[in-house]
Amino acid sequence: MALDMQDIGQAIFETAKRIEKGTNELYKYAKAYAEAEKEYRLALAKEILCLRDAGLPATLINDVARGNVAELKYKRDLSEVSYKTARDMLEALKSQLSGLQSLYKNQGEV
């Protein structure tokens, strides 16, 4: 029984360490996402102004501008997915930790 408690305790410790590391990684992903969003929006605004100054019909400007900065939008979308995936994985680790803590508590009561 003591070995089981020790194993559960070790799993709790390791999961807590993974959560700590994941929190630091999540910050990096959030920052990359914000930077990519900023870069995309600035480029889109500049492209819209350039197309307007070039005399492109107003009905076409938005579509053409988005097409011209599509690579930046791709990078922004990829950054967003990376951030959300990291966030979801961190939530899964928190759930795992909660389950391990419940096991540890129940094992101690036996």
pLDDT in tens, 34-92: 999 999 999 999 999 999 999 999 999 999 999 999 999 999 999 999 999 999 999 99
What pLDDT, on the 0 to 100 scale, is given for residue 110? 64
What pLDDT, on the 0 to 100 scale, is given for residue 1? 45
Q: How far is Cα of residue 3 from the mean position of the Cα atoms in its chain? A: 37
Cα 44 from Cα 65, distance rounded (Å): 6
Cα 12 from Cα 96, distance rounded (Å): 9
Tell me the two tokens of residue 97.
């930790």
* Average pLDDT rounded to a whole number, residues 28-35: 98
Cα 32 from Cα 76, distance rounded (Å): 9
Residue 6's pLDDT band (cuts 50, 70, 90): confident
Virtual CA dihedral for 103, 104, 108, 110, nearest 10 degrees?
A: 20
Give the domain ranges of the chain: 2-109
What pLDDT, on the 0 to 100 scale, is given for residue 39? 98
